[in-house]
Amino acid sequence: MKKHLVLVGGGHAHLTAIMKLRDYIDKGHRVTLISPSVYHYYSGMGPGMLSGLYEPAEIRFHVRKMAEARGASFMEDPVIRIDPAKRILILQSGTQVRYDVVSFNIGSGIRKDDIALSGGDVFPVKPIENLLRAREYILDVFKNRAAHILVAGGGPAGLEISANVWRLIHENGLTGRLTVLCGGRMLERFPDTARTIALKSLREQGITVLENVSLRSMKNGKATFTDGKTIACDVTFLATGTKPPSIFHESGLATGQDGGLLVNACLQSVSYPEIFGGGDCISLRDHPLPKVGVHAVRENSILYHNLYAMLEGGELMRYKPRKNYLLIFNLGNGRGLLWRQSFVTDGRAAFWLKNYIDRKFMRKYQVSGELDEK
Ligand SMILES: Cc1cc2nc3c(=O)[nH]c(=O)nc-3n(C[C@H](O)[C@H](O)[C@H](O)COP(=O)(O)OP(=O)(O)OC[C@H]3O[C@@H](n4cnc5c(N)ncnc54)[C@H](O)[C@@H]3O)c2cc1C
């Protein structure tokens, strides 16, 4: 019997399935991609877009064109609830979509429950589109006055965002003061050598880095820290860590400790075998994964294969996460900070390598004339 495959979110883990949609459609199945936007932005180049190193068109995939060119339908409308018993997705517009097999790749949001926010210009660093809005806002508003900018979060995202805001300010002749609140220590989960390089690089850029202090509240341009200090602040970036969306829990699906869709090694929901997922929105049973794009990208071929096997029959493949992966952070000054297990180095070559890897990844999936939109 011919089936309806629905892909929810055109994120990093779905790119291979979208590229190879014809394999499902040629077997007579119907495929629909549902996403809040026609574009999916590649997070690895997001901070570089914030600073102006990359044009928006260079870092995004036109997932609508990608899907439609391969015979699928596209719906621009986020999924807000799942009725797994009836196999129905409920979209924000109220539209209901029936599925036989569904796969979720809807990413994660930024944790902000502990911060009282009212007024002021606050940009969570996900979705990546927020960085484009922040860039346009800063360039527009601070032509003639100094910008007081705060970055909450001392992890990789906080590091890259602050370094690239610095570049944005300096490349455009703006002035400003930049403060980073690390919560704990800068790059806490990384070796001391990486922490030292990151702190030195930010401080050389004139950025104030405060460790063991978090943002408690941001009210009408006044930021209050957990140590009681306050500063005036025009723009706040929230890079306070990620958490999967609440949709799975709210829809009665089994979730992991972090609230992500609980999946087995085949990236298949432990509650309903016709539900799959990949990337930041899942929680892999017995093996919690860090929320890094590397895993989302490596899950591509497994999801593509397992969705095919669910439609056509066949054995499911297992995702075997490797501990070993490479991360390179963009330090905003033409240099990169490279980390792989216990190996750490920095310099221009590290950034060159990051740029090379990122652009190669983009070339593979930018098949819909994205660069012509510049
Ligand atoms: C600033 C920054 C820099 C980063 N740099 C790196 C890096 O260099 N290397 C690295 O490995 N990791 C990096 N990360 C982590 C990385 O962003 C995530 O791990 C990665 O984006 C996960 O991919 P994903 O496809 O699961 O989610 P996402 O990239 O968030 O994609 C989710 C997709 O789902 C869509 N969607 C969302 N909600 C819905 C809905 N309700 N219905 C339908 N569709 C929906 C979205 O529009 C989006 O297209 C970075 C993160 C940040 C914040």
The pLDDT tens digits of the residues spanning 19-36 come to: 999 999 999 999 999 999
The number of beta carbons lying within 10 Å of the beta carbon of residue 94 is 8
pLDDT of amino acid 155: 97
Tell me the two tokens of residue 247.
Answer: 């949709």
Tell me the two tokens of residue 348.
Answer: 């221009």
Tell me the two tokens of residue 45.
Answer: 């180049």
In this prediction, residue 324 has a pLDDT band, given cuts at 50, 70 and 90, of confident
The pLDDT tens digits of the residues spanning 134-193 come to: 999 999 999 999 999 999 999 999 999 999 999 999 999 999 999 999 999 999 999 999
* Residue of minimum CA distance from atom 34 in ligand 1: 106
Q: Is 287 exposed, middle or buried (0-12, 13-18, 19+ CB in 10 A)?
A: exposed
Biggest alpha carbon–alpha carbon distance for the chain:
65
CB contact set of 15 (below 8 Å; sequence gap of 6+): 61, 300, 365
Q: Is the CB of 79 under 6 A from ligand 1?
A: yes
Looking at CATH, the fold of the domain delimited by 111-241 is given as FAD/NAD(P)-binding domain (3.50.50)
Q: Which atom of ligand 1 is nearest to the CA of 239?
A: 53
Using DSSP's 3-state secondary structure scheme, residue 211 falls into coil
- Asked if residue 120 has pLDDT above 80, the reply is no
Using DSSP's 3-state secondary structure scheme, residue 201 falls into helix
Q: Is the CB of 151 under 6 A from ligand 1?
A: no
Same fold flag, 4-36+77-108+244-312 and 111-241: yes
Name residue, tokens 């997001």: 46
Using DSSP's 3-state secondary structure scheme, residue 114 falls into coil
* Residue of minimum CA distance from atom 17 in ligand 1: 43
CB contact set of 266 (below 8 Å; sequence gap of 6+): 276, 302, 306, 316, 317, 318, 319
Cα of 62 from ligand 1 centre, angstroms: 15
The pLDDT tens digits of the residues spanning 56-79 come to: 999 999 999 999 999 999 999 999
CB 181 within 8 A of CB 151: yes
The domain spans of the chain are 4-36+77-108+244-312, 111-241
Q: Is the CB of 125 under 6 A from ligand 1?
A: yes
- Homologous superfamily (CATH) of 4-36+77-108+244-312 is FAD/NAD(P)-binding domain (3.50.50.60)
**Model pTM above 0.85:** yes
Phi, psi (deg, nearest 5) at residue 87? 55, 55
Q: Is the CB of 82 under 6 A from ligand 1?
A: no
Phi, psi (deg, nearest 5) at residue 259? 95, 0
